[in-house]
């Protein structure tokens, strides 16, 4: 039987993961409010040197909720949040929860067409973004059902000395928003709360939908993943149960983005629902990350391998004291054995008493659902399932379990499993399947094995996907965009190994007859890509092909192109 949970006796014997957690009943906001009641004067988060207590956090969330009610957001409405990790994003996220809405989390660097898709897919009525992204929203809003756009600015949440500096540097680069623009500025928005006197709270339960995150699912087509209050609250309790060294007030460096399950679920909600302290990082650069880590004496950090690769290269980490660290987590992509060794050596040299711990998860389960225990690591393993989470290895696309050590598809079950793919019942039915054991299993499309002690080993992705700097990029989506261009007859997108990003995106294009494969054409296609593709998914290069290699059934043989690129390396 290759299924284990935290209830398995050997895990209890090791004393690492407690079994059968008693899960919080209520909403995400309720969980944070309960902490605020217990520790009102504890700091909930720090933002660019300014601390916010739990008492202040809940006051701001409630003010924000009243303002949402005033502008007409009602129970079940979807509100799009396209923000970096900053206070306004946190306040609005929980305020949407408080008024019974659903938070639609998207990448603020998404291309215009992608923003239009996300707004329409979620049927959002309201959106919030930063001043620097206003023009992208304004260009597409007439094609959506969005009534109100709230515009926030980083400067509004800065301490006074920093505010002046910001306006002289980053603030100067932001294109001015016209005075008569049909938007609500953040400060005006918060003042609207004065017009709401009662009934802004909507009673919701654990199983109610609360958040939409995006993923390619098993087919590589972008879909909204609907997650519940319980999904997020259970994750918070599981993460803490798997890290018994955590204490109330411990600091987590929240550099992973709020629109990503890892950033939102682990770095922000886990901390705020369990009495931790987030250090919000609005814009990640290796240098700022290292500075925040050292300056704030953070206890926990979570990141993708790319982030750690960058950390190792920084000269300003020389002599840094990292003895404050209690947990360093890696996820989002495979951590190579070599990088783990380098990182562990780096941690030891900088007085950290711990090693990096690899985890694994999918957006369909919010994020991580498996983590290497603190006291016991196995080379190449992604660890053990969280409490009350089941993992089994089956013959791909079946329910036939495979023996220990045999490679198959990784299946997940537990309290963090999503509700559905929004508006895609067939894909939901393919991905979520109830077995004879009564559990609903997520078919991940990932391949792996399990050993006799229940440690899981990730072997690769059954579905075609590129992971670049921790972001999932689905080649099929990019190919659809390229193929729609009048100069393109056929395209193929692959991931090319990269020392820093792990993989970078490269496109191959067969042009229509008569089109010239020259620099001018390449520039036209690159400009077109910039308009339709998010920054992180942009091809670094477009190569022209007279013809594409084909498989026996006539499909483009993308593996041949991958092998050719590897050969060049």
CATH number at residue 513: 3.30.300.30
Mean pLDDT of the region 358-369: 94
What's the domain range around 144? 29-204
Q: Tell whether 321 is covered by a domain.
A: no
The total domain count for the chain is 3
Closest CA to 236 of 422, 415, 84: 415
**473 and 453, same domain (yes or no):** no
Residues 425 and 535 in one domain: no
pLDDT of 554 strictly over 70: no
For the ranges 26-35, 313-322, 324-333, 545-554, the maximum mean pLDDT occurs at: 26-35
Region 336-343 average pLDDT = 84
Task: Produce one character per residue of 481-509: b if its CB has 16 or more CB atoms within 10 Å, e if not.
Answer: bbeebebbebbbbbbbebeebbbbbbbbb
Q: What is the pLDDT of residue 170?
A: 59
Are 427 and 502 contained in the same domain? no
Determine, yes or no, domain membership for 553: yes
Domain final residue pick, 153, 169, 204: 204
My answer on whether 61 and 191 are in the same domain is yes
The CATH number assigned to the domain holding 451 equals: 2.30.38.10
| Of residues 19, 26, 28, 24, the one with CA closest to residue 389 | 19
d(CA 181, CA 161): 29
Q: Which two tokens stand for residue 369?
A: 């659902």
Within this chain, do residues 400 and 537 fall inside the same structural domain, yes or no? no
**What would the 3-class secondary structure string for 241-296 be?**
HCCCCCCCCCEEEECCCCCCHHHHHHHHHHHHHHCCEEEECCCCCHHHHHHHHHHC
Average pLDDT over residues 15-27: 76
Task: Render 330-397 in DSSP notation, one character per residue.
Answer: E-SS---HHHHHHHHHHHHHTT-SS-EEEEEE-GGGSSEEEE--TT---TT--BEEPTT-EEEEESTT
Are the beta carbons of 317 and 311 closer than 8 angstroms?
yes
Assigned domain for 246 exists: no
Average pLDDT over residues 124-148: 96
Same domain, 60 and 113: yes
Residue 457 pLDDT > 90: yes
Q: What pairs with residue 366 in β-bridges?
A: none
Gap between the Cα atoms of 22 and 234, Å rounded: 9
Mean pLDDT along residues 393-405: 94
Q: Are residues 475 and 424 in the same domain?
A: no
pLDDT tens figures, 404-414: 999 899 999 99
Q: In what order do the strands lie in the sheet with 488-498?
A: 488-498, 502-511, 541-544
Asked whether residue 367 carries a pLDDT value surpassing 50, the answer given is yes
Q: Which pLDDT score is estimated for 56? A: 98
Strand order in the sheet with 209-215: 184-185, 148-152, 126-130, 78-82, 102-105, 209-215, 223-228, 420-421
- Poorest-pLDDT segment among 90-99, 132-141, 494-503: 494-503
Specify if 350 maps to a domain.
no
Q: Can you give the pLDDT at residue 160?
A: 63
Question: Do 43 and 252 touch, CB atoms closer than 8 A?
Answer: no
Per-residue pLDDT of 139-158, as tens digits, reads 999 999 999 999 999 988 87
Whether 457 and 479 map to the same domain: the answer is: no
Q: What are phi and psi of 223, to 5 degrees?
A: -135, 150
Task: Map 125-193 to HEC letters.
Answer: CEEEEEHHHHHHHHHHHHHCCCCEEEEECHHHHCCHHHHHHHHHCHHHHCCCCCCCCCCEEHHHHHHHH
Average the pLDDT over 503-523 and give the result.
93
Query: Average pLDDT in the 125-145 region?
Result: 96
Q: What is the mean pLDDT of residues 432-448?
A: 95
In a domain, 336, yes or no: no
Tokens representing residue 296 in the block? 């704030």
Per the prediction, the chain carries an average pLDDT of: 89
* Nearest partner of 536 among 269, 218, 259, judged by Cα: 259
| Among 540, 488, 187, 239, CA closest to 383 | 239
- Asked whether residue 335 is assigned to any structural domain, the reply reads no
Token pair in block for residue 227: 């997650």
The answer on 190 and 44 residing in a single domain is yes
Determine which of 42-56, 132-146, 548-562 has the lowest per-residue pLDDT on average: 548-562
Residues 491 and 447 in one domain: no
Round to whole Å and give the CA distance between 74 and 96. 9
Question: Is residue 186 a part of any domain in this protein?
Answer: yes
What percent of the chain lies above the pLDDT cut of 90? Answer: 68
User: Which neighbouring-strand residues pair with 4?
Assistant: 391
**CA atoms of 258 and 273, how far apart (whole Å):** 15
pLDDT, position 553: 45
Query: Is the sign of the CA dihedral 532, 534, 536, 537 positive or negative?
Result: negative
pLDDT digits (tens, 9 = 90+) for 276-321: 999 999 987 888 888 899 999 999 999 888 788 778 878 878 889 9
Task: Please say if the pLDDT value at position 163 is more than 80.
Answer: no
Residue 172 has pLDDT above 70, yes or no: no
Q: pLDDT value at position 253? A: 96
Half-sphere exposure of 271 (CA within 13 A, CB side): 29
User: Among the three residues 180, 204, 228, which one is the final residue of a domain in this structure?
Assistant: 204
Q: 183: which residues sit within 8 A by CB, 6+ positions away?
A: 134, 148, 149, 150, 151, 177
Q: Give the pLDDT band (50/70/90) at residue 420.
A: very high
Record the tokens describing residue 460, joined without a space.
């690769």
Q: Which of 178, 204, 230 is the last residue of a domain?
A: 204
* CATH code (residue 123): 3.40.50.980
542 DSSP β-pair partners: 507
Mean pLDDT is lowest, of 45-54, 92-101, 157-166, for 157-166
Q: Domain check: are 407 and 532 in the same one?
A: no
Same domain? For 441 and 541 the reply is no
Q: Which residues touch 296 (CB under 8 Å, ≥6 apart)?
A: 46, 251, 253, 279
Q: According to the model, what pLDDT value does residue 10 have?
A: 28
In a domain, 233, yes or no: no
What's the distance, Cα to Cα, between the start and end of the chain in Å? 42
Nearest to 114 by CA among 82, 154, 150: 82
Span 234-275, pLDDT tens digits: 999 999 999 999 999 999 999 989 999 999 999 999 999 999
């Amino acid at each position: 039987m290759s299924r284990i949970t935290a209830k398995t006796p050997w895990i209890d014997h090791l004393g690492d993961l407690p079994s059968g957690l008693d899960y919080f009943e209520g909403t995400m906001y309720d969980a944070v409010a309960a902490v605020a009641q217990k520790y009102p004067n504890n700091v909930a988060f720090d933002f660019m040197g300014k601390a916010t207590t739990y008492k202040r956090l809940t006051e701001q969330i409630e003010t924000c909720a009243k303002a949402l009610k005033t502008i007409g957001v009602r129970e079940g409405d979807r509100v799009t949040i396209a923000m970096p990790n900053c206070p306004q994003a946190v306040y609005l996220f929980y305020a949407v929860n408080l008024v019974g809405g659903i938070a639609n989390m998207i990448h603020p660097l998404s291309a215009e067409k992608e923003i239009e898709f996300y707004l329409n897919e979620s049927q959002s009525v309201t959106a919030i973004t930063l001043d620097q992204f206003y023009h992208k929203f304004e260009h597409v809003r007439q094609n959506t059902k969005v009534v109100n756009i709230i515009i926030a600015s980083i400067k509004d949440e800065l301490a006074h000395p920093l505010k002046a500096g910001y306006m002289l540097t980053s603030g100067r680069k932001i294109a001015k928003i016209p005075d008569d623009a049909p938007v609500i500025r953040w400060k005006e928005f918060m003042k609207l709360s004065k017009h709401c006197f009662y009934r802004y709270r909507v009673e919701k339960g654990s199983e109610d939908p609360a958040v939409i995150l995006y993923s390619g699912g098993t087919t590589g087509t972008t879909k909204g993943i609907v997650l519940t209050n319980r999904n997020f609250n259970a994750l918070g309790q599981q993460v803490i149960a798997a890290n018994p060294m955590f204490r109330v007030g411990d600091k987590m460096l929240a550099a992973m983005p709020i629109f990503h399950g890892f950033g939102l679920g682990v770095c922000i909600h886990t901390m705020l629902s369990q009495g931790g302290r987030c250090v919000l990082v609005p814009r990640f650069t290796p240098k700022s990350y290292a500075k925040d880590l050292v300056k704030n004496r953070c206890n926990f950090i979570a990141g993708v391998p790319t982030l750690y690769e960058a950390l190792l290269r920084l000269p300003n980490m020389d002599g840094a004291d990292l003895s404050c660290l209690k947990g360093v987590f890696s996820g989002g992509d495979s951590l190579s054995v070599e990088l783990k060794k380098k990182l562990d050596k780096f941690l030891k040299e900088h007085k950290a008493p711990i090693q990096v711990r690899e985890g694994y998860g999918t957006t369909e389960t919010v994020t991580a659902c498996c983590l290497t225990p603190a006291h016991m690591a196995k080379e190449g393993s992604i660890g053990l399932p969280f409490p009350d989470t089941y993992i089994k290895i089956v013959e791909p696309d079946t329910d036939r379990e495979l023996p220990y050590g045999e490679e198959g598809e990784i299946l997940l079950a537990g309290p963090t499993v999503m509700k559905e793919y929004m508006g895609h019942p067939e894909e939901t039915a393919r991905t979520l399947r109830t077995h004879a054991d009564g559990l609903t299993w997520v078919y991940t499309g990932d391949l792996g094995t399990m050993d006799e002690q229940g440690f899981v080993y990730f072997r690769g992705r059954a579905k075609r996907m590129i992971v670049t700097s921790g972001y999932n990029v689905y080649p099929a989506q990019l190919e659809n965009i390229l193929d729609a261009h009048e100069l393109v007859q056929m395209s193929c997108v692959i991931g090319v190994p990269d020392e820093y990003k792990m993989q970078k995106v490269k496109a191959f294009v067969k042009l229509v007859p008569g089109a010239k494969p020259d620099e001018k054409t390449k520039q036209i296609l690159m400009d077109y890509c910039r308009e339709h593709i998010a920054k992180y998914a942009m091809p670094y290069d477009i190569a022209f092909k007279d013809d594409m290699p084909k498989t026996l059934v006539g499909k483009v043989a993308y593996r041949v192109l991958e092998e050719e690129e590897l050969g060049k390396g």
